[in-house]
């Protein structure tokens, strides 16, 4: 039981760390325009509901890099 709790905590920690890094990268790609970044993430949330926050950030970053 304790092992399961630790695994869930570790997964949550890794997800938060990954989201933080992706958010920083996204902000760099949109030159610090937080409204633009949020709008792009919100559009992906509409197109692909039910994904994790890091999935949306990764998708937006991937699309911006591909278009550059």
Q: Total structural domains in the chain?
A: 1
What pLDDT is recorded for position 2? 73
What pLDDT is recorded for position 14? 84
Distance of CA 38 to the CA centre of its chain: 11
Give the mean model confidence (pLDDT) for residues 4-9.
81
Cβ–Cβ < 8 Å for 44, 37: no
C-alpha separations of 58 from 20, 24, 65 in Å: 11, 11, 11
Structural domain boundaries enclosing 21? 2-67
Distance of CA 23 to the CA centre of its chain: 6
Percent of the chain with pLDDT over 90: 71
What pLDDT is recorded for position 36? 97
Please, which residues have CB within 8 angstroms of residue 25's CB and are 6 or more apart in sequence?
61
């Amino acid at each position: 039981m304790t092992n399961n709790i630790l695994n869930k905590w570790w997964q949550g920690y890794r997800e938060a760390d990954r989201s933080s890094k992706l958010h920083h990268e996204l902000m760099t790609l949109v030159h610090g325009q937080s409204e633009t970044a949020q709008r792009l993430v919100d559009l992906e949330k509409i197109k692909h509901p039910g994904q994790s926050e890091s999935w949306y950030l990764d998708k937006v970053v991937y699309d911006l890099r591909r278009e550059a």
